[in-house]
Amino acid sequence: MTAQKGRFLPYLGLTFLIGFGFFTMGLMDSLYDTYIPLFLKRFLPDSSFAVGGLMAMDNLLQLILIPILAIWSDRTRTRIGRRMPFIIVMLPVSAALFCLVPTVAAWSLLAFVGLLFVFNIFKTSIRGPVVALMPDQIPGDFRSEANGVINMMGGIGLIVGTIALGRLFKTSESLPFLVAGLCIVAAVLVLAIGVREKLPDADAAAAEDNPSLIFSLKQVFRGSNASVIRILFALFLWFVAYEGIKPFLSLYMVEVLKVGKGMEALGMGVAGVSSVILAVPSGYLAHKFGRRRLIRFSLVFIAAILALVPLPALLAGRLGFSPSLVLSLFFATMFLYGAFWIGVVVNSFPMLWQMATFGTMGVYTGVYYTFSQGAAIIGPPLTGAINDYAGYPGIFFFGAACMIGAFFLMRGVSAGEAAH
């Protein structure tokens, strides 16, 4: 079964299994981004900037470790593959540390930050190999569809974390993290048993050539490859917005929308539901209409949605909106936000992978994360400072402006589409 047959279906089962790695990422990220700011706020009640700065710590580690580990896995050769050794060692350790988060959060700020630092080293180190596993196994023309499937799995992890496990937070702050740890270990077993890495025959010789890191990076940033530069700076902007807003959604729901305990995660959960529903269709739509076109279309709507998010709460008194109506409108905008955001996420990575070779897949993966995590480092403290001086509406308006900037950068991209 080859890409020339023009059908993704033969690769669906394998893609679904690979998606269990993304399930673990979505599960941990959703709980982390929802509840870590709440734990930190107990120690730092008067500074959103400090909370945002500490939330950027994992992104700093990701900026350093993801490219290194992704490229290291490019050059790894074992009997079980080049990505799986990292997965079966680091994910279970991440799960064990994740289970300890609520317990250590009750000790002291120093102990809590120390645990988060160690946890993020392991969680971050696995992301590059997990992400690079899919393009290793799936032909380039079908990576939008495949990325839709694995992002759907990541979205399911987000839903499990925010909607299902988030409800357990009301019963016990430790319970969601313990259940998540068990789910992660189960997902690792599925990956270890179900996925067998192998080098495609046509690329085996090239993969073994292993060009130097400097040579590979020069190829990525060569002067004629303006599309790569534009994609990277566009994704930098949209991730500044996304990562900057994400840690403050739970705080916005508690402080502005006045939701009760156990409901703090529902904003991201609702966005996750629409992302799961539309992840796979987004891949197929991009194959039909073009990846760049779908990304730009999505960015315009995301900008409009972010600008609308704070308006019901701001105008509630003037328009006579009840608190329940304001909350319902917030959930509606978050649903739309997730629906269009997945169109960007599903198709941006495949555009870069389309320009890579089998031997440089980890390099392109690493470069993607260099820019996205650089944005994630800047985003939370920047939006935290905006919140300190302009309130929560300023965060959403800033995010809308970033999305418009990314829209214009993507206009000049001419490479990265599926061949047929």
Q: What is the pLDDT of residues 263-304, one digit of tens each?
A: 766 787 788 889 889 988 988 888 888 889 999 999 999 999
Condensed to tens digits (0 to 9), the pLDDT of residues 339-358 reads 999 999 888 888 888 877 76
Quick one: pLDDT at residue 386?
Answer: 92
Number of domains observed in the structure of the chain: 1
DSSP 45: T
Alpha carbon 20 to chain centroid distance?
A: 14
In a domain, 145, yes or no: yes
Q: Amino acid identity of 374?
A: G
Is it the case that residue 10 has pLDDT exceeding 70?
yes
In a domain, 212, yes or no: no
In a domain, 417, yes or no: no
The helix-helix angle for 109-137 and 361-390 (nearest 10°) equals 140
Coil, strand or helix: which one is 31? helix
Q: Which residue, chain included where needed, has tokens 């900026």?
A: 63
**291-295, 322-326, 334-338: which has the minimum mean pLDDT?**
322-326
In a domain, 1, yes or no: no
Share of the chain above pLDDT 70, in %: 89
In a domain, 79, yes or no: yes
C-alpha to C-alpha distances, 181 to 8, 19, 107, 290, nearest whole angstrom = 32, 17, 21, 38
Q: Which residue, chain included where needed, has tokens 């589409």?
A: 417
Return the closest-CA partner of residue 166 out of 48, 260, 41: 260
Q: Find the distance separating the first CA and the last CA of the chain, reported in whole Å.
A: 16
Domain that holds residue 57: 9-195+219-410
Condensed to tens digits (0 to 9), the pLDDT of residues 64-115 reads 888 788 778 777 777 777 888 888 888 999 999 999 999 998 898 899 999 9
Is it the case that residue 57 has pLDDT exceeding 90?
no
Quick one: pLDDT at residue 95?
Answer: 92
Helices (H), 354-391: 361-390
The answer to whether residues 123 and 21 touch, using CB atoms and an 8 Å cutoff, is no
Looking from the CA of 340 toward its CB, the CA atoms found within 13 Å total 21
Quick one: pLDDT at residue 337?
Answer: 95
Coil, strand or helix: which one is 108? coil
Quick one: pLDDT at residue 114?
Answer: 92
Q: pLDDT band at residue 20, thresholds of 50, 70 and 90? A: confident
Quick one: pLDDT at residue 218?
Answer: 64
In a domain, 201, yes or no: no
Condensed to tens digits (0 to 9), the pLDDT of residues 367-379 reads 888 898 888 888 8
Q: Which residues contact 79 (CB under 8 A, 6 or more apart)?
A: none
Quick one: pLDDT at residue 211?
Answer: 56
Condensed to tens digits (0 to 9), the pLDDT of residues 184-235 reads 999 889 888 888 876 554 444 444 455 555 666 666 666 556 788 899 999 9
Spatial distance between the Cα atoms of 15 and 108, rounded to a whole number of angstroms: 42
Condensed to tens digits (0 to 9), the pLDDT of residues 233-256 reads 999 999 999 989 987 888 888 888
Q: Alpha-carbon dihedral of residues 199, 200, 201, 207, nearest 10 degrees? A: -50
Q: Which residues contact 330 (CB under 8 A, 6 or more apart)?
A: 253, 257, 267, 309, 312, 313
Quick one: pLDDT at residue 358?
Answer: 67
Is it the case that residue 125 has pLDDT exceeding 90?
no
In a domain, 396, yes or no: yes
- Residue 225 sits in a domain whose CATH number is 1.20.1250.20
In a domain, 161, yes or no: yes
Q: Amino acid identity of 295?
A: I
Quick one: pLDDT at residue 400?
Answer: 97
Over the chain, what is the mean pLDDT? 83
Q: Amino acid identity of 6?
A: G
